[in-house]
Amino acid sequence: MSDEAGAAALDRLARYRFEYETAGLDTLDVHHDPMVQWQRWFQDASDAGCVEPNAFVLGTVDAAGWPQSRYLLLRGADQRGFTFFTNYTSAKSQQLEATGRASMLFSWLQLHRQVRVTVSAERVPDDESDEYFASRPRGSQIGAWASPQSQAIPDRTWLEDRVQQMAATFGEAPVPRPAFWGGWLLRPHEFEFWQGRPSRLHDRLRYSSVPADVEAAWHLERLSP
């Protein structure tokens, strides 16, 4: 099943134990708006030097009901929700179109923190996708045209040839955004902030949206670890 080095690493898996000594998380300390609280933690993760602090795992469900997860890079966070960019014909985009729902997971393990968010999904307006696409390096712009994301392709050479063809097509001209590429806006439905604490007595705070209640738009409660 596995080679010798792999087997040794697997053997260590069950014995990894880290005590989490970081400060706790209390309902009295967090911001009443979970988006503001998320921004505070994102700032902490950036300040702490976490690798790619804007990386998150997007969870979707495919047509057969299989859960699918993949990392993405967050490109925006504001009062509407979270934004990332991708190919609209990709597997994830088809799953977002079909269900309109997804999960996000931010892992800032250096700080012993994770944030889970359940979201509804919609495409961002075209002008936002245009603006972001124009800001990308030219190589990434050409790559977006060349790659039929999530489809099976014959080999690496096939992809490299496509890149060459696209580069020749555009020459020195600006590369426009392909209609099949753009952003998704993920509107939060529920947040859970998790802070590791000693003896596995972790802190978990959940914000649930209360759409009918304008006074308190989010209901905050503590969950058992």
Query: Which stretches of the chain bind ligand FMN, using CB under 6 A?
Result: 52, 55, 68, 70-73, 84-86, 90-92, 149-150
**Smaller CB separation from ligand FMN, 70 or 80:** 70
Minimum distance of ligand FMN from residue 125's CB (angstroms):
18
**Smaller CB separation from ligand FMN, 102 or 111:** 102
Minimum distance of ligand FMN from residue 79's CB (angstroms):
22
200 given a catalytic annotation: yes
Minimum distance of ligand FMN from residue 97's CB (angstroms):
12
**Smaller CB separation from ligand FMN, 61 or 217:** 61
Beta carbons of 197 and 24 less than 8 angstroms apart: yes
**Smaller CB separation from ligand FMN, 92 or 197:** 92
Minimum distance of ligand FMN from residue 222's CB (angstroms):
31
Q: Is the dihedral of CA 83, 184, 53, 29 positive or negative?
A: positive
How far are the Cα atoms of 37, 114, 170, 195, 203 from residue 223, in angstroms, in the given order?
A: 17, 14, 54, 12, 8
**Of residues 200, 204, 206, 222, which has the active-site annotation?**
200
Which positions are annotated as active-site residues?
200
